[in-house]
């Protein structure tokens, strides 16, 4: 192998690796291309094809926490048109013990 090829092949491999890392867009679960959620609107209306995991990923939430806030149990089934809470419910004032 010539010196030119010994340098060219690793250089080409590095260039391809860097180009692959610079892919545009943000990809969510299962390869869906989505816009990055810039803020948390507090509520989300489920659309056809959505999953609880996908919605949680989009808003940077744990899907189990999102399920708890919305009283959804395994297998975490959601339906189009369903409204989901994206923030923790307000804490209820606790009762004080008399003493």
Q: Provide the residue-wise pLDDT of the chain in tens; the chain has 99 residues.
A: 676 777 788 887 777 777 666 655 555 555 555 555 557 789 999 999 999 999 999 999 999 999 999 999 999 999 999 999 999 988 777 666 665
What's the pLDDT at 96?
64
Structural domains for the chain? 25-85 (3.10.350.10)
Three-state SS for 77-90 is CCCCCCEEECCCCC
pLDDT at 28: 55
pLDDT of residue 39: 72
Cut 0.95: pTM above it: no
Beta bridge partners of 43: 85
Please report the beta strands in 3-91, taking only residues with DSSP state E, as ranges in sequence order.
26-27, 33-34, 43-45, 83-85
């Amino acid at each position: 192998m010539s010196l030119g090829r010994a340098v060219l092949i690793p250089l080409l491999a590095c260039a391809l690796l860097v180009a692959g890392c610079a892919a545009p867009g943000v990809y969510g679960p299962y390869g869906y291309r989505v816009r990055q959620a810039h803020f948390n609107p507090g509520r989300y209306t489920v659309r056809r094809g959505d999953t609880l995991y996908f919605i949680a990923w989009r808003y940077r939430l744990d899907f189990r926490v999102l399920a708890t806030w919305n009283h959804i149990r395994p297998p975490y089934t959601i339906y189009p048109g369903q409204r989901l809470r994206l923030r923790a419910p307000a804490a209820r004032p606790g009762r004080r013990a008399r003493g």
